[in-house]
Amino acid sequence: MTYRPDIDGLRAIAVLSVMLFHLGFTFIPGGFVGVDIFFVISGYLISKIIYTETENKTFSITNFYVRRARRILPAHASVFVLSSVFAVWLLYPSELVSYAKSALASALFSANIYFFEAINYFSPSANEIPLLHLWSLGVEEQFYIVFPLIAILFAGRRIFSKVVAALLITSLIASIWMLTKDPSAAFYLLPFRAFEMLIGCYLSLPKKLPTNKNVYNISFIVGLACIFCSILFYKESMRFPGIAALLPSLGSAFVIFGGLDHNKLSKLLLGNKVLVFIGKISYSLYLIHWPVIVFGRRIFPLADFYIFSFSALAISLILAYLNYIFIEQRFRHAKLNLKPIKVLGIALSVICVMVFSSGFVIYKSGFQSTLDERTEKVLSYLQYDFKSAYLSRTCFLDPDQDPDDVDLSKCLPDGNGRKAILWGDSHAIQFYSGFKETLESRGYNLGVITASACPPIIGVDVAARPMCKKFNDTAFPLIAKEKPDILIMSASWNIEESNMDLLDNTLKEVNKLGIKKVILLGESPLYKQSVPILVADRLKTANNDMTASDELEKGFLDISETIMSKRFANRDDVEYISVMNVVCPDYKCPLTAPDEAPVHFDIAHLTESGARLFAKILTPLILD
């Protein structure tokens, strides 16, 4: 197959957009679509190879898998080794076990399935999961296993293009449907991502090409415009993949098609030396960049954003180049006088080493015996069982629960005395155990109506939580019927203007109910790292200062507080309480409660000890 430097240039755009997005540069909020560009490229190249070899009667499924093994496995294994060294050095035992589980899954080509099952709203921050990026490799590897088998059945027949088109449309429809049921499944799993690779496959099939050069130039320009529109204007909070994934995917297909005649435009913009170089090392660069970022932030948690970001970029580029030269190229192009079955045997042996080493770490519980008793107790909060305190699946709905299937009326206040209701998402239910003590001791019966990632805003649409609108439509009539003396609204607020307008409208509807006191709680503390880790780090260095400041996500918290206070403070229809100003004066937030337990069990959610601490501070302001 003829080498296409423009495709390497397209790979460079893909990997750079992902890296800059992962580093947190706000000018490319849609940088995550770089993965979708990779999917289209992979589908195009794999299908092109298979179809061409099938037509020439030279295709061998064994040789295909040998080439894939030589292309994928050496670089993957080298990054596995390097990442594991840093994981053993930097991670605490429970984190190391989680790392080993993800490493084991990646070795078995199932990282996407593992993260789909393991990650939920209360999982560690993505910034603390070193191998999270390998989910996309799992999707591609599964596609490489399945698609050649389909190609063997249909390649060389006229029906093949129709089969590819049918699979493409089926996968796209399934992705759109799954976004309404389980957005996480739509994001991580092959059946709902396959259409992106199948777009590349369909493009690679033989077809009569236009002779007009302008067609290729227009296709190239339109394709780049689609890609950069998605990179610059897409947001992580949108429904994705589904229909939204078509813009970067079709854009990539247009760019690849536009370069078929090797025109000057594609050579100039994508075939230049810089982009081609980055494109050639893009596989190693993708594998390496995320562990560099995660472990780098662990080593330098308080580093300046720009110094850290450009250092991480430079280190990633250097390591990727070395990996490309000494690992990728040597194994991919090595002239080994080995039969394909022996190469596959070696590949299987490498996989077994990765599996057994990961399994050993899991078996040893991450070498937990190396910790002192207090540190071990603090770190146990990383596996904190919040379900009882958070009334999980009864008064705090999980994403998979339909409000119609839950009797939320049972969550309303008991008795005939004064009543208060807590309404919101996890940032509301986190206060429940604390407010229950403090409010009930003052003669209030407390009820709670909450759902995961669903702010108390009528009409709000949350992409990752299809049931949110229905939840609030169910909750509001219950609140209206109960008409509590106090309504406390709390959430992790999306401060976009459209959401704030909806919150304003919700407050207008609430005030029509004649509720005596409506409390709006501002944003709660948000950390860069899980709080048990911050506490354990202090214990390790004998640092007795159990407050945090620089470890907070100050940028987000500042913006949120500015917008919320400007809009809702000093109003007659609602009492706005700045949680940050009250609990964390001068950005000094408590990391531990009086009983020495961590205040939070992750980067944002309170333990019962933390809830009691916050409630004691906030309750006098609520009742004032």
- Domain CATH for 418: 3.40.50.1110
pLDDT of residue 158 exceeding 90: no
377: in domain = no
455: in domain = yes
Interstrand relation of 444-451 and 396-397 (parallel, antiparallel or unpaired): parallel
Q: Tally the domains of the chain.
A: 2
- Which among 343, 370, 397 is the end of a domain? 370
* CB 128 within 8 Å of CB 529: yes
253/397 same-domain check: no
* CB 154 within 8 Å of CB 208: no
What's the pLDDT score for residue 228?
98
What's the pLDDT score for residue 122?
67
Question: Which DSSP symbol is given to 550?
Answer: T
Cα radius of gyration rounded to whole Å, the chain: 27
* CB 188 within 8 Å of CB 226: no
pLDDT digits (tens, 9 = 90+) for 289-338: 999 999 999 999 999 999 999 999 999 999 999 999 999 998 877 666 66
378: in domain = no
Question: Which DSSP symbol is given to 209?
Answer: P
pLDDT of residue 264 exceeding 90: no
What's the pLDDT score for residue 475?
97
407/258 same-domain check: no
> What type of residue sits at position 122?
F
Question: Which DSSP symbol is given to 208?
Answer: P
- Which among 370, 404, 430 is the end of a domain? 370
Q: With residue 589 as reference, give the H or E element that holds it.
A: strand 589-590
463/351 same-domain check: no
294 or 1: which carries more pLDDT confidence?
294
Helix (H, G, I), strand (E, B) or coil at 486: strand
pLDDT of residue 121 exceeding 70: no
Helix (H, G, I), strand (E, B) or coil at 256: helix
pLDDT of residue 157 exceeding 80: no
pLDDT digits (tens, 9 = 90+) for 570-601: 999 999 999 999 999 999 999 999 999 999 99
- The Cα–Cα gap between 624 and 615 comes to 14
pLDDT of residue 361 exceeding 80: yes
What's the pLDDT score for residue 358?
95
506: in domain = yes
349: in domain = yes
**Average pLDDT along the chain:** 94
Could you tell me where the DSSP H helices lie in 122-263? 135-154, 160-179, 183-188, 194-204, 213-233, 246-258
pLDDT digits (tens, 9 = 90+) for 410-436: 999 987 889 999 999 999 999 999 999
169/20 same-domain check: yes
496/355 same-domain check: no
331/431 same-domain check: no
28/69 same-domain check: yes
pLDDT digits (tens, 9 = 90+) for 446-493: 999 999 999 999 999 998 899 999 999 999 999 999 999 999 999 999
pLDDT digits (tens, 9 = 90+) for 507-564: 999 999 999 999 999 999 999 999 999 999 999 988 989 999 999 999 999 999 999 9
366/415 same-domain check: no
- The Cα–Cα gap between 56 and 152 comes to 13
Burial of 113-135, coded b for 16+ CB within 10 Å and e otherwise, reads bbbbeebebbebeebbbbbbbbb
Query: Domain span at residue 503?
Result: 386-623
pLDDT digits (tens, 9 = 90+) for 203-247: 999 888 888 889 999 999 999 999 999 999 999 989 999 999 999
Sheet of 575-577, strands arranged across: 396-397, 444-451, 418-424, 486-490, 517-521, 575-577
What's the pLDDT score for residue 331?
84
What's the pLDDT score for residue 589?
97
118: in domain = yes
pLDDT of residue 79 exceeding 90: yes
Identify the sign of the CA torsion 552, 553, 554, 558: negative
In the numeric block, which tokens belong to residue 405? 């299937």
- Segment 104-131 shows an average pLDDT of 88
294/405 same-domain check: no
What's the pLDDT score for residue 211?
82
376: in domain = no
Number of CB atoms found within 10 A of residue 513's CB: 15
- Residue appearing with tokens 């990728």: 328
430/336 same-domain check: no
Closest by alpha carbon to 452, among 132, 123, 187, 125? 123
What's the pLDDT score for residue 336?
63
328/421 same-domain check: no
35/182 same-domain check: yes
94: in domain = yes
Percentage of residues in the chain having pLDDT higher than 90: 82
Q: With residue 576 as reference, give the H or E element that holds it.
A: strand 575-577
pLDDT of residue 120 exceeding 80: no
pLDDT of residue 41 exceeding 70: yes
- Which among 324, 344, 370 is the end of a domain? 370
pLDDT digits (tens, 9 = 90+) for 362-417: 998 888 777 889 999 999 999 999 999 999 999 999 998 999 999 999 999 987 88
